[in-house]
Amino acid sequence: MEEEIHRYVEAICIASEPSQSHLHQQAFEYLSNLRQNANETWRLALTAFTGVTPEGNKYPESVRFYSLRLLDEFLDNRFEPLDEDSFRTLQQSLISYVHSEYVYGSAESNASYLRNKFSHTLTLFFLCTYVEQWPTFFTDLFSLIRLPESPSRPQFNRHVSLLLFHLISEISGEVADQTIKSARTFNPIRHTRDSRVRDAVRERDAPLINEAVLTIIVDGTERLAELRKTTTSSPELSEALEIVDWGIRTFGSYAGWIDINLTITPITIPLLFSLLPDPNLAIRLATSTALLRILAKGLKEPEDKLQLVKVLALGQVIDALESKTRAEQVARGSNEDEGEESYREALGRLLNECEKPEVAADATRLLEQILPVMLRFMSDKYDDTCSTVFPLLQTILASYKRSRKVSTDPLEESKRSFLVSLLQVIMQKMKWDDEEDPSDLDDDDFSAFETLRKDLRSSMDAVFTIDQDLVTNAVRTLSLQTLSAYRSGMSLNWNDAELAVYLVYIFGEIVKSRIFYCDYLSLISRLNFTAGGKGRAAFCVAPVVPKEKRREVDYSEYPLTPHGEMLLALVQSSISAFPHRLVAMQFFETVAQCIMPTLEAIVDARGLHSPDSTVRSRTYYLFHRFIKESRNDISEEIAVNLVQGIKDLLTIQVDLPTLDSPDDDILAEAIKNPGLFDSQLYLFETLGTLISLVSKSPDQQASMLLSIVTPLLEELSSNLPAAKGGKDPIPILRIHHSIMALGNVAKGFPDYPSPVPEGYRLPSLDVFRQVAQAILSCLEAMNVFKYVRDATRHAFARIIATTGSSVTHLIPPLMANLLAQFEPSELVDFMNFIGLLIHKLQSELFNVLDELIGPLSAHITQLLNQPVTGTDDSVEHAETKRAYLTLLTNVMSSDLHDIFISDRNKATFEPLLISMSRLAEDISDSSSQKSAFAFLSRCVQVWCQPATAADGQAQGVPGFERFVYERLVPTAFVVLSSPQFNIKDGQMMVVLLEIGNFLQIVCKTRGQEARDFFLSAFLPSQGWPQDTAIEFTGKLQDLDNKAFRKYFADFVRLSRSQTSS
């Protein structure tokens, strides 16, 4: 053993020292082998951790830490009792170590990480042995805690007390913490073990554990109070603080899963509330967490929860603490204290537990107390603190909404007053900090504020449901005052201006589904804009007019709605010229909600032609969204004028990024970060939409389309010679961008209808054929470039969607060139592209698919059979599998299934089915499993039809039913009986239902033959009792699909519970 220990220690020292490169790999391999064989090598690790060297010293810390890791490897995932010798060896060694190091030693004072690691290892040993082998675990540990009484020192051994606290916290995490459990792969055996440990602790030791923890905390608080009288800083004070802090943390760790009668007592309530305002931040945070877990513990009746809140007097306590901490926050001024702010957040979370509106009378009195406190938390200058009380706010507003549904009485004055105050707080919290420059924020901070605004807007929407006038008056007053002030020349802070515009925007979003949209001609007339006499512009209060007569009505005679009034003030204020980028961008966000009289502002230097590239980029998207949503209200005349007004913006923008490393691929980085061109694509799509509106004049439409695509086609031809060399990235990027732009022009046109309705005006097919041919020619010359292949797939997908079968003749050469140079990373995109072609072209794609499906399936099957190495490989493997299954499903659902059994592919038909059955067996990928069973179900419906009475010939593939009976049906039951198949997992439940559907399709397709197979052959071979087999087969035959799926899920759930018990 001594020689083995020496080798073990030496290997760890070498592995910890990279400079010994010649031995480094050997040491790693040796240690890896030890961990893989932990069942045999754990004694070596135990000796190295608890023992000493021949000189009488402890082994090096790195050796002892690794030894604990090796012991963890042995103990973790062990769910059977240890053999008696192993148990006794471990128990005696670990208890001896606790005696020497914790009772009489320094508890690894120089290596706290060893102390923490040991707590975890001892916890794993506890989980393995407590139920059956070491029921006196806690009693044995308690016996080591108490010290001989002395007035000058604590009553309890500090080291053992902290070890106890760490152990209980770790045990609570292992057996009851849902966050930890959800992070692990579900293991039913571990789940059962943890439940047994949890139940055993409750039954045997919970009262003793709780008493011990509270006794140590009380002793620590008394000692803390005495020490604080004489000192503000000393080792003894720090030790007492640590004991109380960890004691409260431990109490909170188990408060959620043991009997509440142990955690809510005449001792715990005064103790917790005495510590909630403690000067020490760590103690305050631990106490608030403990209280939160007590309150969050499930209680059967709302009255019980409310009674608990009343007993704790939580409303009054939080009210006082909020006022105290707010005053301290004001006193700190601009000096932020993250710790103290986290305490305010904890108080806010506690406040959420005060509301239970189901108990009307008492809850109403409680609300009167906590609503002002909640509003103070919401108005906190720190957004994280503000958002902590959102759950309480949502509960209150939901209660108000329910009350309004059952009563038509006016809103109570107390509720009205609260909602008015709430709206003021919401609007102020929606405002950017005036000292903050959004352009300097990182993406996370910017996104966090946008999320806050979204949550606040949701609350405003709820108030609107309760009382529309309150929201309307609040938003209207603030926005109109601000806009009027700006129009009159008053100086405004940029954040006040932005808030006013934003409020108009969200008011439009809130009322969008609740008020009548009328034509916008009234707003146009008030603004003295000319829009060709057509189009929509604003909201107004007008009678309902038939759609075909709306353009005959003079809507300027009708008064505007509040939203129309705000939009009018917004445009008249000229706030789009405010000298702050965010205000201009919010202005265009707002006016893009509706058909607007502000096309001039969008098209001119304030929007699409802005010198600020950020504003220009965002406006490209907003203009696209506006045109897309209002295309049915734009006249041909306006469409033509808009196309002419933006043609100067169509020069392809090529930006080369700055490389982080000389080894980076400049072409790849430029494609990944295309700069302004990414937004420019929206502009090309918008042009396609506008040109498609000129459908009454086919010649004019063709001419306009040519005027847009011709410069792009010329760009392709002019850059092709230089791009072929591949040395200069600029020509390649120009070709890539031009192809993408051509595809987006096609994307702006409507999809080709099937069937084509009478009177439908087709787009300019000849122009699109010319475009498609040019792109294909470019691909033939540059198919070695992946990014050109990607762009070509994108463009053809859009052109085919627009033109239907008009370019079908180009698909064979397109496929040939896409596959001539092919990288694995393109496989998913390629299959998705094929799926789109199937959807658009249906039977016209049969010959292409007939040639393609065999080699493609063989290639994918080979790829899926390769071992997965690393996370990236795993993700790529899963995406490929899903795309392949989607493609096969598309083939089946489009009635193109004959390609699988054609003369060219019939030899690969059975291997394909075997491959699908293997995917159906793979429990590690529920999504693909479900898709595989769905595909197999469709196969049964198509190829497993029995012989008809007319000709006596089967309508499917001869012998296919044998494959179903011998391979597929057994596969389904193998999946259901697997220990890894967790029926409580939502995704696996979906697989279970798909299996039920598959079995029923087999039964209903083959009829009596299938019923006989299940009843007389298969189910008896699986050991099913006859009465169970008869019942199951009868349900399979007689129930409709919905009823059988429910029966099947209940049947499997019951069967597995009986098996596990």
Q: What is the tens place of the pLDDT at every residue in 531-571?
A: 323 334 345 676 666 655 655 666 667 788 888 889 889 98
Please give the C-alpha separations between residue 974 and each of 152, 881, 968, 979, in angstroms, as whole numbers.
68, 21, 10, 10
Query: In this structure, which amino acid lies at residue 352?
Result: N
Of 23-32, 69-78, 925-934, which gets the smallest average pLDDT? 23-32
Higher-pLDDT residue of 358 and 396 is 396
Of the ranges 58-62, 477-481, 826-830, the best mean pLDDT one:
477-481
Place of tokens 């809103």: 411
Mapped onto helix, strand or coil, the DSSP state of residue 52 is strand
Q: Residue 955 pLDDT more than 70? A: no
| Confidence band of 399 (pLDDT split at 50, 70, 90) | confident
Write down the pLDDT at residue 478. Answer: 96
Select the more confidently predicted residue: 1035 or 956.
1035
**Closest to 346 in 3D by CA, of 380, 312, 397:** 380
Instruction: Determine the Cα–Cα distance for residues 569 and 475; give it in Å rounded to an integer.
Output: 13
Q: How confident is the model at residue 358 (pLDDT cuts 50, 70, 90)?
A: very low
Checking if the pLDDT of 314 tops 80, the result is no
pLDDT at 141 over 70: yes
More confident residue, 533 or 752: 752
pLDDT at 130 over 50: yes
Residue 1039, pLDDT above cutoff 50? yes
Q: Look at residue 695 and give its three-state secondary structure.
A: coil
Q: Quick check: 415 pLDDT over 70?
A: yes
Q: What sign for the dihedral angle of Cα 118, 123, 124, 126?
A: positive
Buried b (16+ CB within 10 A) or exposed e, 851-862: bbbbebbeebbe
Structure confidence at residue 148 (pLDDT): 63
| Residue 516 scores a pLDDT above 50 | no
pLDDT tens-digit series, residues 264-284: 888 888 899 899 999 999 999
Output the CA–CA distances (angstroms, integers) from residue 669 to 348, 660, 674, 782, 846, in the order listed: 45, 10, 8, 19, 38
State mean pLDDT over 940-953.
Answer: 71
Mean pLDDT of the chain: 85
* CA gap 197, 137 in Å, rounded: 12
Cα distances from 164 to residues 142, 195, 264, in angstroms, run: 8, 21, 21
pLDDT > 90: percent of the chain: 39
Lowest mean pLDDT segment, chosen from 70-79, 217-226, 863-872: 863-872
Q: Is the pLDDT of residue 212 over 50?
A: yes
Residue 29 pLDDT exceeds 60: yes
Could you tell me the pLDDT band of residue 592, with boundaries at 50, 70 and 90? low
CB 540 within 8 A of CB 560: yes
Query: How much is the pLDDT for 556?
Result: 66
How high is the pLDDT of residue 334? 75
* Cis peptide bond prior to 543, omega within 30° of 0: no
When pLDDT is averaged across residues 97-105 and rounded to a whole number, the result is 93
Q: What pLDDT was estimated at residue 255? A: 92
**Highest mean pLDDT pick, 534-548, 818-832, 1003-1017:** 1003-1017
* pLDDT score at 703: 92
User: CB atoms < 10 A from the CB of 482, how many?
Assistant: 23
> What value does the mean pLDDT take over residues 713-724?
88
- The pLDDT of residue 3 is 84
Q: Are 757 and 806 in contact (CB under 8 A)?
A: no
Q: What is the mean pLDDT of residues 775-784?
A: 92
pLDDT beyond 70 at 588: yes
Nearest-angstrom CA–CA distance, 617 and 680:
7
Percentage of the chain lying above the pLDDT 70 cut? 90
How much is the pLDDT for 151? 55
Q: Tell me the two tokens of residue 524.
A: 């146009």
pTM of the model: 0.60
Q: Please say if the pLDDT value at position 357 is more than 50.
A: no
Q: Which residues lie closer than 8 Å to 854 by C-beta, 6 or more apart? A: 904, 905, 908
At residue 474, the pLDDT reads 96
Cis status of the peptide bond prior to 813, with omega within 30 of 0: no
In the predicted model, what is the mean pLDDT of residues 301-326? 77
Among the ranges given (125-139, 309-323, 585-599), the one the predictor scored with the smallest mean pLDDT = 585-599
- pLDDT on residue 485: 94
Q: What are residue 560's DSSP bridge partners?
A: 540
Q: What is the mean pLDDT of residues 451-456?
A: 94
* pLDDT at 527 > cutoff 60: no
The predicted structure's pLDDT at residue 817: 85
Top pLDDT among 438 and 301 is at 438
Average pLDDT of 823-839? 85
Which pLDDT belongs to residue 549? Answer: 60
pLDDT in tens, 661-701: 777 888 888 888 888 899 999 999 999 999 999 888 888 99
Q: At residue 792, does pLDDT exceed 70? A: yes
